[in-house]
Amino acid sequence: MTEQAGTVPEPELVLSGLRDAIAGVLDDADLNRIDLQAVHNGTPLLSLPIDSMALMEIMTKVEDTFRVYIPEAQAYKFTTVGEVVDFVRAKAAAKAARQQG
């Protein structure tokens, strides 16, 4: 799932991409501890079995999927899944505006 350049992905698409990234990074034991479909915008990132290395891998997958840059310092500031979704959408919107301007 790669997002077309110049478009702003819908929140559900970003959430789905984030779930896919989590599924692609976590091992089976950690995945069995969570219900990915229950992960929503209000889900605290600290409630997920994600360490700092896994977080960076997940952010890299999200960057690749949506063609946005997430600075490492910003990645560590996210507290909920929704903050990641909002950040990705804002970055995509800014990128789209630059491409049209």
Q: Give the tens place of pLDDT for each residue, 20-53.
A: 999 999 999 999 999 999 999 999 999 999 999 9
Neighbouring residues of 38: CB distance < 8 A, sequence distance ≥ 6: none
In whole angstroms, what is the distance from residue 70 CA to residue 45 CA?
A: 16
CATH number at residue 23: 1.10.1200.10
**How do residues 59-87 score in pLDDT, each as one tens digit?**
999 999 999 999 999 999 999 999 999 99
| Residue 30 in domain | yes
Residue 3 maps to a domain: no
Domain carrying residue 75 = 11-100
- The pTM for the full model equals 0.91
| Structural domain includes residue 1 | no
Q: What is the number of structural domains in the chain?
A: 1
Residue 64 lies in a domain: yes
